[in-house]
Amino acid sequence: MSAPDFGPLLAEIAFDATGLVVAIAQQHDTGEILMVAFMNRDAVTETLRTGTVCYWSRSRMSLWRKGETSGQTQRLIEFRVDCDGDALLLKVDQTGVACHTGRRDCFFRVLRDGAFVVDKPVLVDPDKLYGG
């Protein structure tokens, strides 16, 4: 059996000059926004092929398979592209926490009285997630 041809789908995504597109991860059943990351063509292809979300790490300059070191994976439920093709919405089933800080999501700082305050607890010690 041959691998699916994702070329036509990739052609509808407006990757930027560096080959990236923003991807928003949202918990499929609650609507909770978990995180924002970037994907390149290879990350999109791997995500569609495997059903497990893969991103592009700009700091490591390599594919980043969500949960490969922490076990906190994202299973793809639905893949959406916005009207301009320049942003992706990934509806996922998140295993554990999504944020490298050990919080459920990456949006735990909220503006209150002119300053950012943390409003969500650490659920898992990051040292336990990453063996530090």
pLDDT digits (tens, 9 = 90+) for 62-95: 999 998 888 899 999 999 999 999 999 999 999 9
**Hey, which residues does 111 pair with through a beta bridge?**
116
Cβ-Cβ contacts under 8 Å for 75 (sequence gap 6 or more): 51, 52, 53, 92, 93, 95
**H helix or E strand, kind and range, residue 110:** strand 109-112
Contact by Cβ (8 Å): 38, 22 = yes
pTM: 0.92
pLDDT digits (tens, 9 = 90+) for 22-69: 999 999 999 999 999 999 999 999 999 999 999 999 999 999 999 888
Distance between CA atoms of residues 40 and 8, nearest Å: 15
